[in-house]
Amino acid sequence: MSEFSGALQEVYDVVYRRNPGEPEFHQAVEEVFESLAPVVERHPEYVDILTRMCEPERQIIFRVPWTDDSGRVQINRGFRVEFNSALGPYKGGLRFHPSVNLSIVKFLGFEQIFKNSLTGLPIGGGKGGSDFDPKGKSDAEVMRFCQSFMTELYRHIGDKTDVPAGDIGVGGREIGYLFGQYKRIVNRYESGVLTGKGLTWGGSQVRPEATGYGTVFFASDMLGAKGDSFEGKKVLVSGSGNVATYAIEKIHELGGTVIGCSDSSGYVVDEKGIDLDILKEVKQVRRGRLSEYVELRGNGATLGTEGSLWHVPADAALPCATQNELDADDAAALVKNGCKVVAEGANMPTTPNAIKILQGAGVSFGPGKAANAGGVATSALEMQQNASRDSWSFDYTQNRLRDIMSALHDNCLTTADEYDAPGNYIVGANIAGFVQVADAMLALGVI
């Protein structure tokens, strides 16, 4: 358990005691508290706000019964944590993965508050999901699960209340089944109730690409702040899902080469640059493993055998898979190999000790709540299009995303400067994100 100064420690003790057995939630709260001492010193009125901010406004847990293809009844657990609505309706994704539990949903929901605040758009923070594992399930099973999940969730959401989207295990297919069931139950075409929808039924251009593209825009600005760029850089991108795929695409567009990516079965090294057509075929069409990538790619690409992806020498690293996937040992390897920039495409993928090693060695570190905010920002753009019954072009939407990421990057740096931590994106993101929510909460009174 961390040590904080004075009033912050008291608040943290309460959070720790009130939420026993939730290590990921504690980790996310600690990371924010570590940045806040100078703010609370200047603004003692924020202490009580912080206590309130750590307690979700509403936590919903429900049973999700569904029938598998063999006719057996399966039971999963569904979650929606509506964390903070000071800036707008709760906004955040749904994660379907066997590891999902209340601690994971709360860490994600807590981070989402600050991330969404940083976008500068009017969205509060929430997160949800289930311990359902879509892997190996038939389309029909996924549909029945989604329909059952929505049969409970529908009563809690709405375009002005709570707007879920995708996350790990929830992509276009799942959002489709969820939206279909919502529409059927309420008998209204309320496009703005979910984001990440398909283009022909209320979705936005660039939403599928947005988290990956946004992370690369942010990393590109980080390099830019050092007078550098992606041109000619060797880059590692962990994961091979939605975020990783589009991060790879944008890095290649900007002149970098992604020489390795990964999935839960291991990692692949491809010095010529990951071939996106093959990766998409293996991951999006076949829903297969990276060994199939190596088979299809032929000469040059190899499956990693030792350690992790992070031990492959590269100039930049973008962890885009899942929480705590880059540890102290990995960080030491990145530093040793001369890595200059780490930007988190996933949520909390870098362990606290790894962050210390990277920052201690002068590696520029972009935390997820800033670096991967492009996904949720584009969700807010989807909500704008739904509210005005409009749909924007790809270029217009991408330009909006580019501007949002630049403003966010600059906001982090300016705030870090203001609080005597030049170049520290964690301090900048945590303080800038926090202050905006805290001021709104003060204005709205004790609710």
Instruction: Please report how close the Cβ of residue 195 comes to ligand GLU at its closest, in angstroms.
Output: 5
Q: What is the dihedral of CA 206, 208, 212, 217, to 10 degrees?
A: 10
Judged by CB under 6 A, how many residues of this single chain contact ligand GLU? 11
Structure tokens belonging to residue 89: 């309706």
Instruction: Please report how close the Cβ of residue 265 comes to ligand GLU at its closest, in angstroms.
Output: 23
The residue count of the chain comes to 447
- Identity of the residue, 260 or 375, whose beta carbon is nearer to ligand GLU in the bound complex: 375
Binding span for ligand GLU by CB under 6 A among 86-94, 132-140, 262-270, 322-330: 86-94
Reduced to 3 states (helix: H, G, I; strand: E, B; else coil), residue 426 is: helix
Instruction: Please report how close the Cβ of residue 388 comes to ligand GLU at its closest, in angstroms.
Output: 19
Does residue number 349 form part of the binding site for ligand GLU (CB under 6 A)?
Answer: no
- Identity of the residue, 156 or 289, whose beta carbon is nearer to ligand GLU in the bound complex: 156
Handedness of CA 54, 57, 63, 64 (dihedral sign): negative
- Identity of the residue, 283 or 311, whose beta carbon is nearer to ligand GLU in the bound complex: 283
Q: Residues 99 to 138: which contact ligand GLU by CB under 6 A?
A: 115
What residue spans of 254-393 are helical by DSSP H? Answer: 276-280, 290-297, 328-336, 352-360, 368-371, 374-387
Contact 129, 60 (CB under 8 A): no
Longest dimension (CA), the chain: 64
Q: Residues 350 to 389: which contact ligand GLU by CB under 6 A?
A: 375-376, 379
Annotated active-site residue 336? The verdict is no
Name 190's Cβ contacts closer than 8 Å, sequence gap at least 6. Answer: 158, 159, 182, 183
Q: Which of 84, 147, 151, 347 binds ligand GLU (CB under 6 A)?
A: 347
- Identity of the residue, 149 or 419, whose beta carbon is nearer to ligand GLU in the bound complex: 149
Q: Which of 31, 167, 270, 325 binds ligand GLU (CB under 6 A)?
A: 167
Q: Which residue is nearest to ligand GLU, using beta carbons? A: 93
Name 83's Cβ contacts closer than 8 Å, sequence gap at least 6. Answer: 56, 57, 90, 92, 106, 109, 110, 112, 113, 124, 125, 126, 127
Does residue number 344 form part of the binding site for ligand GLU (CB under 6 A)?
Answer: no
Letter string b/e over residues 363-392, b meaning 16 or more CB atoms within 10 A of that residue's CB: bbbbbbbbbbbbbbbbbbbbbbbbeeeeeb
Instruction: Please report how close the Cβ of residue 375 comes to ligand GLU at its closest, in angstroms.
Output: 4
Binding span for ligand GLU by CB under 6 A among 87-95, 171-179, 221-229, 233-241: 87-95
Binding span for ligand GLU by CB under 6 A among 5-13, 79-87, 91-99, 273-281: 91-99
Contact 28, 110 (CB under 8 A): yes
Sheet with 364-366, edge to edge strand ranges: 302-303, 266-269, 257-263, 234-237, 316-318, 341-343, 364-366
Does residue number 92 form part of the binding site for ligand GLU (CB under 6 A)?
Answer: yes
Beta bridge partners of 124: none
Instruction: Report the run of H or E that residue 414 belongs to, with start and end.
Output: helix 394-418
Binding span for ligand GLU by CB under 6 A among 85-93, 171-179, 285-293, 349-357: 85-93
Of 91, 106, 115, 127, the active-site residue reads: 127
Q: Which of 11, 29, 165, 194 binds ligand GLU (CB under 6 A)?
A: 165
> DSSP letter at 167?
B
- Identity of the residue, 40 or 405, whose beta carbon is nearer to ligand GLU in the bound complex: 405
Name 435's Cβ contacts closer than 8 Å, sequence gap at least 6. Answer: 39
Q: How many angstroms separate the CA atoms of 172 and 204, rounded?
A: 12
- Identity of the residue, 12 or 177, whose beta carbon is nearer to ligand GLU in the bound complex: 177
- Identity of the residue, 212 or 260, whose beta carbon is nearer to ligand GLU in the bound complex: 212
Q: Which of 214, 186, 189, 216 is nearest to 201 (CA)?
A: 189
Interaction pattern, residues 182-201, with ligand GLU; x per rule: CB under 6 A: -------------x------
- Identity of the residue, 99 or 337, whose beta carbon is nearer to ligand GLU in the bound complex: 99
Q: Which of 36, 56, 82, 91 binds ligand GLU (CB under 6 A)?
A: 91
Residues in contact with ligand GLU by the rule CB under 6 A: 91-93, 115, 165, 167, 195, 347, 375-376, 379
Report, as residue numbers or ranges, the catalytic residues.
Answer: 127
